[in-house]
Structure 1
Amino acid sequence: MGFTKSVIHTIAQNELAKVFKALSHPARIAIMEYISENPGCICTDLVQTMELAQSTISQHLNELKAANLLEGEIRGKKMCYTINLDKWYGTKQLINDYFISTSK
């Protein structure tokens, strides 16, 4: 969505759309599940677990990082991934608020 269209929506609406877009692929859901169970894992761990190429997993990781759902810490030459819990819990609250406000 272009900037000119995003300004007509609330911050919460734009934030939810960004997170939902990042989570809209089943591989990204699987990646988030894996990282939640294996914090500090590296891309190679994901490649060995999933039937996806390293480049594909890297693209999905980039999408999740762009939505601020993942944090990465460089250890040596490797990037170790964890879930950004502040963002995750904030998103959970936004989703809860959204469902409460739309189910009246």
Structure 2
Amino acid sequence: MNESCSAQQGFSLTEALIAMLLLSVSILGLLNYYQSLSHGFMRQWQVQQAWAEAHSQLEAYSVAGKGTEPFAKNWEYLINGTSYAQSCKLVTAAIQTPTKYQAILQRLICDFAP
């Protein structure tokens, strides 16, 4: 038998370790990307919810004269009505999310007697 014809099969230990290192680095990069993407989606959802909640609080104030119960824990709410004219109030609704984003809406609410 001719020994020069025998070919090496498989990978060496060094090649396998380098391949595993590259795979590990790639997976860590993808996990970091996924984490930042998830954080961004959560922040965007909180921003949308904050504006919707501020609008809802102003609507409730215009109907009942007070805001409604907060819909989420760890969110800060402030509903404030100040006299603006004889029969008007300037109502401010401020909502702060757990990530410290703040949505502030104001509405002038006037009572007109028929």
TM-score, normalising length from structure 1? 0.26
Higher share of residues assigned helix: 1
| Structure with more contact order per residue of length (Cα contacts < 8 Å, sep ≥ 6) | 1
The alignment's TM-score, normalised by the length of structure 2, stands at 0.24
